[in-house]
A and B are shown apart, each in its own frame.
Chain A
Amino acid sequence: GEDVEQSLFLSVREGDSSVINCTYTDSSSTYLYWYKQEPGAGLQLLTYIFSNMDMKQDQRLTVLLNKKDKHLSLRIADTQTGDSAIYFCAEIPSGTYKYIFGTGTRLKVLA
């Protein structure tokens, strides 16, 4: 099937690291994305990784890709209350315009 799986909920304390996981489905996907959605808002592109990379770091964000297991993760260092949101991973199988979104992980940051 086309289900891209994410855990539904994650709760962390302010200042701790958060790790959000995603298991995707299509090995042909060239790019994999992480989007953030705050309540009532659109999707904000956070970062992406090219499929021939293992890791990408962008300030507080670290993306890890295990292509063999089709596993993608997003680590947020020094998590802040402003990071509370829903995080979606997404892939685009080769030859299509169509994103396949993950189910979304709701991150709650406790002060």
Chain B
Amino acid sequence: DTEVTQTPKHLVMGMTNKKSLKCEQHMGHRAMYWYKQKAKKPPELMFVYSYEKLSINESVPSRFSPECPNSSLLNLHLHALQPEDSALYLCASSQGGSAGGMGETQYFGPGTRLLVL
């Protein structure tokens, strides 16, 4: 099973709202990722968690707050977003073995399409 699930599938929020995106995998992977993807562009890495610890933050604004409650779950908390934050948010996971090796093949979820009004 190489499935990564994400909820919700779609989300519309105002600039003053607080919402959360959720991601789950049951492949025993120890690395999990958040990406942001704008239309017709490749995904851009936001955060990487390795063994439930934040290992990479790609200078993402603080209105995005990641959380990894356990090895299977990854959340992205959203607060005071801007219209330019509207995008497809993708979660991915990988085995979390030696960096650059086969363990780093990433499996992606279906994404959450976010619209900020």
Which residue on B lies nearest to A40, using beta carbons?
B113
| Smallest Cβ-Cβ distance to B40: which chain A residue | A104
A68-111 to B contact mask, C-beta < 8 Å, 1/0:
00000000000000000010100011111111011110100000
Q: Which residue of A lies closest to B58 (CB)?
A: A98
Q: A43-B43, A97-B31, A103-B42 are in contact. Are A30 and B109 (CB under 8 A)?
A: no
Tell whether, in the assembled complex, residue B105 and residue A41 are in contact, meaning their CB atoms are under 8 Å apart: no
Q: Is there contact, CB below 8 Å, between A101 and B99?
A: no
What are the residues of chain B within 8 A of A86 when measuring CB–CB?
A: 40
A88 adjacent to B42 (CB under 8 Å) = yes
C-alpha gap A102/B2 in the complex (Å):
23
Tally A-B pairs: CB < 8 A: 69
Report the count of interface residues on B (CB-CB < 8 A).
31
For residue A42, CB closer than 8 A to chain B, the reply is: yes
Give the 10 A-B residue pairs with the shortest CB-CB distance, closest first. A101-B42, A94-B100, A43-B108, A42-B108, A42-B110, A42-B111, A95-B100, A42-B109, A95-B99, A97-B48
Q: List 13 A-B contacts (CB under 8 A).
A: A29-B100, A30-B100, A42-B109, A42-B111, A45-B2, A88-B42, A97-B31, A97-B33, A97-B56, A97-B94, A99-B45, A103-B41, A104-B40
